[in-house]
Each structure stands twice: as C-alpha cells, then as structure tokens.
Amino acid sequence: MKAMVEQKSTAKGADHEVWISGSVTALDLRYTASGVAILQVTLAGEVDREGRPRPYYLQVRALKGRAEYWADRLQPGTVVLARGELSQSSWEGRTYTSILARELRVVDPGHVALSEPDARGQRREARGLNRFLGTGLLVREPELRYTADGRAVAHARVLFQSGGREPKPAFVGLEAWGEAAEELARLPKGTPVFAEGSLRVDSWTDREGQKRYDLRVVASWVKPLLKLAKVEEEEDPLKDFPPEDDLPF
C-alpha cells in the first residue's frame, strides 16, 4: 500500500480541467522528427447562451498511441466527448495554446442532434458541451471597461499548470462579463482564483499579414481563493489508517 502512495505522489494532476464535445470537422495526424504521433481534431458545437445558440470550433490534440488509435477510428461527422487540459508550446518565437486530450469518447449517434450546415457545409453538434473548471494565479492586473450598452467586461491573464510528472505552465487570457467581471476587477495581481466558464478562440491578422489565434477562458463565475501555507513534506495519507485485519467490515 505504501509503495502505491509513493508512486502516485510523483505525478501531479493539472489544476484545471476541460470538457468539450462536438462534431469532428477536421483530422490531421502528423509525426515529429523523433517519431511522436500527434493527432489534431477540430470539434464543432453550439451552446445556448442568453437564449441564442453560440457556435464554437475548438482544436483538441492527442499524442502517441492515443493519437494513432483515434486517427483510425474517427471521421468527419463523428460526435466526440473530450476531457483534457490546456497545453502551451512555442514555435518560431510564437506561443500556441491548445487542448491536450487525456480521454476521448464517441457519443452514441442515437442521442446526437446536429445543426444546419455552416458556410463551409459543416454541421455542428447542437446542445454541445464547452466547459472549463480550474484554479490559477492572476499574473496581470485585471482591466475593467464597459460596453456602449453599459455591460461590464474584464480581462486578465492567469497561470494554470498542466498535469504529469513535470507540470508545465500555461499563461491564458481570462475574460468575464457582468457581475463576474466586476468581481474579477477587484482582485489584485498574484491572487489565486477559481474560474468556471467556457473556451473561445479569437483570430486576427497581425501587422505582418499573418493569421493569429488566441485561446482564452470566458468565465461565468470567478472567486478568489485564500493562499495556503506551503507543505514542506507530503505525509502518507494512510499512515494512521488501521490494518485491513482490524477493519470491522
């Protein structure tokens, strides 16, 4: 039992989680120079927001054996549920944020509703799932402004951590509206926060004419967290647990 606890403590989980469902609109399997398989899947769906369907197109990546497994089983139109986390990588001086899948599941076709075809002839999953939950650290002072119709909107930058034996940082934009925006605007840089919301990709063309993309969290609920005292050494959570022979059941 002790060996199991020690092994588990060497791998840390992510401080956030992403759940995305959608219809597959694109598949791309590639291999790195060292032979690592990378599958990039674009999922398209709709969520109801303020009584209106809001579309989303999000890219999910799978690595190694999981990438090859799903590359042979997915096809355009398949509705998939993905559970994962945010991951950042740099290439040619630019930082890219994506969703790294920890689990992929195919949704039962008998319980799927699709939208009307979009401009490209692709059909999104109606009543899809686009959800983010996580704790992070504010690394930039929130900026609050108001739209022409008086709605509050705030923007900040948050540091999240990926899971694995060597957790990696992901610096992600955080956007909030209404009461959540005013709550966020009161928090100073360095505050630990919990955010619930969805993911959105913004795109624009830079001064060099290159297409740029930014994946951000649009929070519907934001709360500050108290800072915890640092634990120097993790104790075995089962050290005071009685032996199995002494249990009354």
Condensed to tens digits (0 to 9), the pLDDT of residues 198-215 reads 999 988 777 787 777 789
- Evaluate if residue 103 carries a pLDDT over 80: yes
Q: Which of 95-99, 114-118, 214-218, 242-246 has the lowest mean pLDDT?
A: 242-246
Q: Which two tokens stand for residue 30?
A: 């590639």
- For the chain, what is the domain count? 1
Whole-number pLDDT of residue 209: 79
Q: Which two tokens stand for residue 205?
A: 């063309």
CATH for 67: 2.40.50.140
Whole-number pLDDT of residue 156: 97
Residue 161 lies in a domain: yes
Range of the domain at 169: 14-224
Whole-number pLDDT of residue 12: 60
How many Å is the Cα radius of gyration of the chain?
Answer: 21
Residue 35 lies in a domain: yes
- Evaluate if residue 3 carries a pLDDT over 80: no
The residue with tokens 């709360």 is 223
Q: Which two tokens stand for residue 223?
A: 């709360």
Average pLDDT, the chain: 86
- pLDDT band at residue 247 using 50, 70 and 90 as cut-offs: very low
Instruction: For residues 245 and 249, give the distance between their C-alpha atoms in angstroms, rounded to a whole number.
Output: 9
Q: Average of pLDDT values for 185-208?
A: 91
- pLDDT band at residue 229 using 50, 70 and 90 as cut-offs: low
Instruction: For residues 40 and 62, give the distance between their C-alpha atoms in angstroms, rounded to a whole number.
Output: 7
Instruction: For residues 21 and 118, give the distance between their C-alpha atoms in angstroms, rounded to a whole number.
Output: 18
Instruction: For residues 119 and 40, give the distance between their C-alpha atoms in angstroms, rounded to a whole number.
Output: 22
Residue 249 lies in a domain: no
Residue 136 lies in a domain: yes
- Evaluate if residue 87 carries a pLDDT over 60: yes
- Residue 193 and residue 136 in contact, taking contact as beta carbons nearer than 8 Å: yes
Who has greater pLDDT, 5 or 226? 226
Who has greater pLDDT, 205 or 187? 187
Residue 102 lies in a domain: yes
- Evaluate if residue 145 carries a pLDDT over 70: yes
- Evaluate if residue 167 carries a pLDDT over 90: no
Residue 238 lies in a domain: no
Instruction: Specify the pTM.
Output: 0.82
Residue 204 lies in a domain: yes
Percent of residues, the chain, with pLDDT higher than 70: 85
Whole-number pLDDT of residue 236: 52
Q: Which two tokens stand for residue 184?
A: 């966020």
SS3 of the chain: the string is CHHHHHHHHCCECCCEEEEEEEEEEEEEEEECCCCCEEEEEEEEEEEEECCEEEEEEEEEEEEHHHHHHHHCCCCCCCEEEEEEEEEEEEECCEEEEEEEEEEEEECCHHHCCECCCCCCCCCCECCCCEEEEEEEEEEEEEEEEECCCCCEEEEEEEEEECCECCCCEEEEEEEEEHHHHHHHHCCCCCCEEEEEEEEEEEEEECCCCCEEEEEEEEEEEEEECCCCCCCCCCCCCCCCCCCHHHCCC
- Evaluate if residue 161 carries a pLDDT over 50: yes
Question: Model confidence over 23-81: pLDDT tens digits?
Answer: 999 999 999 999 999 999 999 999 988 778 899 999 999 999 999 999 999 999 999 99
Whole-number pLDDT of residue 205: 79
Residue 123 lies in a domain: yes
